[in-house]
């Protein structure tokens, strides 16, 4: 066996062992499915947000994050048998955006990777984890702070008065402000039970 073949065999063995026996092909397929779902979610959410901003201004766009984002995530979750959500480095709605221990660990790693110069566009992480109720493929894709986001998530002086009023009413425990463009704001998080096969592509 030549060195190249040996290296490939070793890498496959490490992947299978580290993932608890999950094959490399299954890992690759699950990661691609998570990437595709994340891209579709963010594109649809971003498009809807821009439409609302144009039609009704910044204050009306708040309902996109409050109502549309959870609905989109719920649709993807039900369609695939996954849990899809967004988590934040600072939380606006503790009932929906609070990271669990694994998600917080990944967000901390994302912060370190961004500080070292890694692009937010490609920042993601995945692994198989064992939990008391089963084994899961978990995936996170970073969400950066875009200039448009500062209307609702920037420094207080950047946020229009009408938006501040809605936020204070709808989110009395809001901590998701004070961001600057380019900072890590959170991530899309996907949790796939390994007991549920991937949904066949159309």
Look at residue 4 in the predicted model and tell me its pLDDT: 36
Point out the residues of the chain with pLDDT beneath 70: 1-21, 201-202
Distance CA 149, CA 152 (A): 6
How many domains does one find in the chain? 1
In a domain, 12, yes or no: no
Neighbours of 26 (CB within 10 A): 17
- DSSP letters, 146-163, are -GGGHHHHS-GGGS-HHH
Give the whole-number percent of the chain exceeding pLDDT 70.
89
Look at residue 17 in the predicted model and tell me its pLDDT: 38
In a domain, 119, yes or no: yes
Look at residue 16 in the predicted model and tell me its pLDDT: 37
Residue span of the structural domain in which 102 resides: 24-193
In a domain, 43, yes or no: yes
Look at residue 14 in the predicted model and tell me its pLDDT: 33
42-77: burial string, b at 16+ Cβ within 10 Å, e else: beebeebbeebbeeeebbebbebbeebbbebbeebb
Look at residue 22 in the predicted model and tell me its pLDDT: 78
Look at residue 2 in the predicted model and tell me its pLDDT: 38
In a domain, 157, yes or no: yes
In a domain, 17, yes or no: no
In a domain, 200, yes or no: no
Tens-place pLDDT, residues 174-195: 999 999 999 999 999 999 999 9
Tokens, residue 138 = 């978990």
Look at residue 202 in the predicted model and tell me its pLDDT: 54
In a domain, 2, yes or no: no
The CATH number of the domain where 67 resides is what? 3.30.450
In a domain, 90, yes or no: yes
């Amino acid at each position: 066996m030549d060195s190249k073949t040996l290296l490939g065999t070793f890498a496959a063995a490490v992947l299978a062992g580290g993932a608890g026996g999950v094959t490399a092909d299954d890992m690759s397929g699950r990661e691609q499915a998570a990437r595709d779902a994340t891209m579709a979610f963010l594109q649809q959410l971003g498009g809807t947000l821009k439409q609302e901003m144009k039609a009704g201004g910044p204050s009306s766009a708040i309902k996109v994050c409050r109502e549309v984002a959870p609905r989109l995530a719920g649709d993807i979750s039900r369609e695939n048998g996954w849990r899809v959500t967004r988590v934040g480095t600072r939380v606006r709605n503790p009932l929906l955006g609070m990271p669990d221990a694994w998600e917080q660990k990944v967000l901390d790693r994302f912060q370190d990777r961004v500080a070292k110069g890694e692009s937010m566009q490609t920042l993601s992480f995945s692994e198989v984890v064992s939990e008391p109720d089963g084994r899961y493929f978990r995936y996170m894709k970073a969400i950066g702070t875009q200039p448009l986001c500062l209307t609702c998530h920037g420094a207080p002086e950047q946020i229009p008065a009408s938006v501040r009023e809605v936020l204070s009413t709808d989110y009395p425990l809001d901590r998701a402000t004070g961001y600057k463009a380019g900072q890590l704001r959170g991530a899309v998080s996907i949790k796939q039970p390994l007991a549920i096969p991937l949904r066949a592509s159309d």
